[in-house]
Chains A and B, each alone.
Chain A
């Protein structure tokens, strides 16, 4: 038997490493073998332990604690009932069974630290096929047939970029992988690198062969130490096994690969800024043209794709471009990975064919909103994207349909919001992010986002003025027009979409000095209903500001001067005695 502990970053944060340690201490009492896998994508159930007999998954155990190690050992020794209470429920099995996994096909199944587990599936077979039977032009043609588009956000056809770099004549060309996943709320690229690093390497090698590059670079966020470690290990293994280096698999094709750790700047997701950063400079975008395909890294022809894009490549080569393009819609082919988070019952990684609806993802797979609350909106595409309201839940997931709502597909961050989320404060959150991350090169982006942030800050504090909405709209359009790169051009999207769908919330903040979601601390007052208060003291214990006075069995009182409006008392009270306005 094989016991596999899911050790992606989120699994480890949830305690997977401690579970592994506990199992390790006892495993010698059995003949089972203990190993790790990457992230299966069911974040809400972490830590997850899988028990296999050969290839067959016998049990999937969820929310496992170190104390459960005893039970797992008992199961391995033959007590079939031992793990009953930590076994995954049928309802949760549906989270995976409703997905179609291509980019994530090995994630959570193979051990990312072992090359042989990758090659035992279909690993490096696509590279072999390419090197032995296909010309670079054939590869580009196959990718063209597949309809694969850049998964980092813009959705630009991958074959077109590859072809442009192929056409640029130069002895020195570079293939670069953008793994600077900076969008807060997206973590699919990290999951791919942590869980299936060889798949990324293989996809990149095929890309390098297609464009004629001899050097490949992965630009990874420094905040992803585990991803960097596993990728380093995988590169070393690939070198030793002859998949990287000179005359790969006996062919004339040579390619080396290295990792460059980013240093934390969202703008480096923009390809020319990323190139500047690779060259050791401040990550500020360049003027285009020339495009990287003509003059990129060290002004040599370069091609940059996102991790998820590369993760699809080997599958396309093995199964044919047509198999990939058979999935999806007219203008968006294949599958897309989404990171589902926020007020969702089942958060995690979801890979589905394009063409499903937002409702399928949020309610079908994600199980809807937690704590019995109402769905309010979903943020697609992070700080560059927009909020889509409940009435558009049946929007089909493809580049065009999502674009029509004012949001974007983006890298695939899906943040679900419920009735307690204030949309103005949400817009402010994203603006705060882009204002901080603006590189400062373009005046409109540098100063415009700052001014917008100040206005939004005023509005959520109840100091909004007549004309603020119009001023915001004017600034939004000016920034869109006046910014050089995608960061600035899309920075106003969260404000524009919330203004489009939730204008009444802005108006309530400005005109009535009320926050309809009761979320903005300055616009909500808490008090205690004397008739309902039982004097249980719970609220005063929970209050972080010592603003509630009262003794056991006496009515409690909130000191409005001390109250910070955090709502802890409101959530704590079991008698409905805390009211808010």
Chain B
């Protein structure tokens, strides 16, 4: 089956398909590897996976959209993972989210026009004692206030310009 979308380098996924293509029940594992390779799940890659494992593209899409780990769009330079755990919520994560959305002019799951920031609300990051918490490209920022969160964003923005 063909799809008329942006072309990805499909050869990158072949070793993964080689290893797992015939192991039944491996779709999630294949998608996890694909996301690691491409940074997200491009549609043409999903078609290729479906073709190889003998499944329909709809079935593969169904699994890809079911789990929160998978994304169908590329992410910005900085991926802001804002913790939505209960402890963070009780300690004001909603206000952090509002402040970030306002500052970046995006909502949850979106990327800024300049491609710098993607905001993603995630389930508990497990740093409850530092709540509210966000993690940006692996770095944890804890005990946030709306002002502190914006300060961090501005700093990253300046860093990326300079």
A→B interface (CB under 8 Å): 9-10, 13-14, 43-44, 46, 182, 184-187, 190, 222-224, 260-266, 277-283, 298, 339, 341-343, 347-348, 379, 382, 413, 415-417, 421, 426, 429, 433, 439, 521, 541-545, 564, 566-568
Check A415–B142 contact: CB distance below 8 A.
no
Give Cα distance in the complex from A446 to B138, angstroms.
34
Report the minimal beta-carbon distance from B133 to chain A, rounded to whole angstroms: 7
Give Cα distance in the complex from A263 to B63, angstroms.
10
Give Cα distance in the complex from A439 to B67, angstroms.
10
Would you list which residues of chain B between 30 and 82 have a CB under 8 Å from chain A?
31-32, 62-63, 66-70
B157 in contact (CB, < 8 A): no
9 contacts between A and B (CB under 8 A): A13-B127, A14-B142, A182-B123, A263-B32, A264-B68, A341-B128, A341-B131, A417-B90, A564-B99
Check A9–B126 contact: CB distance below 8 A.
yes
Tell me whether A184 and B126 are in contact in the complex, defined as CB-CB below 8 angstroms, given that A282-B62, A415-B90, A429-B89 are known contacts: no
Report the minimal beta-carbon distance from B130 to chain A, rounded to whole angstroms: 6
Give Cα distance in the complex from A429 to B91, angstroms.
13
Question: Which of B67, B91, B130 is A264 in contact with, Cβ under 8 Å?
Answer: B67
Given contacts A341-B128, A379-B86, A544-B102, 10 further A-B contacts (CB under 8 A): A10-B129, A184-B84, A280-B26, A341-B90, A342-B86, A342-B87, A342-B91, A343-B91, A417-B90, A544-B147
Which residues on B sit within 8 Å (CB–CB) of A263?
28, 31-32, 67-70
Which residues on B sit within 8 Å (CB–CB) of A542?
145, 147
Interface size on B, residues (CB 8 A): 44
Check A185–B86 contact: CB distance below 8 A.
yes
Report the minimal beta-carbon distance from A533 to chain B, rounded to whole angstroms: 19
B98 in contact (CB, < 8 A): yes
Interface core residue of A339, A342, A544, A568 (most chain B CB under 10 Å)? A544
Which residues on A sit within 8 Å (CB–CB) of B90?
341-343, 415-417, 421, 426
**9 A-B pairs closest in CB distance:** A263-B67, A185-B86, A43-B129, A264-B68, A280-B27, A341-B87, A544-B146, A13-B127, A341-B128
Give Cα distance in the complex from A57 to B124, angstroms.
32
Check B102–A566 contact: CB distance below 8 A.
no
Chain B residue nearest in CB terms to A277: B28
Give Cα distance in the complex from A382 to B31, angstroms.
29
Check A222–B69 contact: CB distance below 8 A.
yes
Check A279–B25 contact: CB distance below 8 A.
yes
Check B29–A280 contact: CB distance below 8 A.
yes
Interface core residue of B95, B127, B129 (most chain A CB under 10 Å)? B129
Give Cα distance in the complex from A497 to B98, angstroms.
28
B106 in contact (CB, < 8 A): no
Report the minimal beta-carbon distance from B97 to chain A, rounded to whole angstroms: 11
Question: Which of B91, B103, B123, B145 is A184 in contact with, Cβ under 8 Å?
Answer: B123
B→A interface (CB under 8 Å): 24-29, 31-32, 62-63, 66-70, 84-87, 89-91, 95, 98-99, 102-103, 122-131, 133, 140, 142, 145-147, 150
Report the minimal beta-carbon distance from A537 to chain B, rounded to whole angstroms: 14
Check B68–A265 contact: CB distance below 8 A.
yes
Report the minimal beta-carbon distance from B44 to chain A, rounded to whole angstroms: 21
Which residues on B sit within 8 Å (CB–CB) of A279?
24-25
Check B133–A222 contact: CB distance below 8 A.
no
Give Cα distance in the complex from A521 to B146, angstroms.
14
Report the minimal beta-carbon distance from B91 to chain A, rounded to whole angstroms: 7
Which residues on B sit within 8 Å (CB–CB) of A184?
84-87, 89, 123-124
Question: Which of A44, A278, A282, A379 is B66 in contact with, Cβ under 8 Å?
Answer: A282
Which residues on B sit within 8 Å (CB–CB) of A543?
147
Interface core residue of B66, B67, B99 (most chain A CB under 10 Å)? B66
Check B146–A44 contact: CB distance below 8 A.
no
Which residues on B sit within 8 Å (CB–CB) of A415?
86-87, 90
Chain A residue nearest in CB terms to B20: A280
Report the minimal beta-carbon distance from B23 to chain A, rounded to whole angstroms: 9
Give Cα distance in the complex from A339 to B31, angstroms.
32
Check A264–B126 contact: CB distance below 8 A.
no
Report the minimal beta-carbon distance from B153 to chain A, rounded to whole angstroms: 11
Check A261–B127 contact: CB distance below 8 A.
no
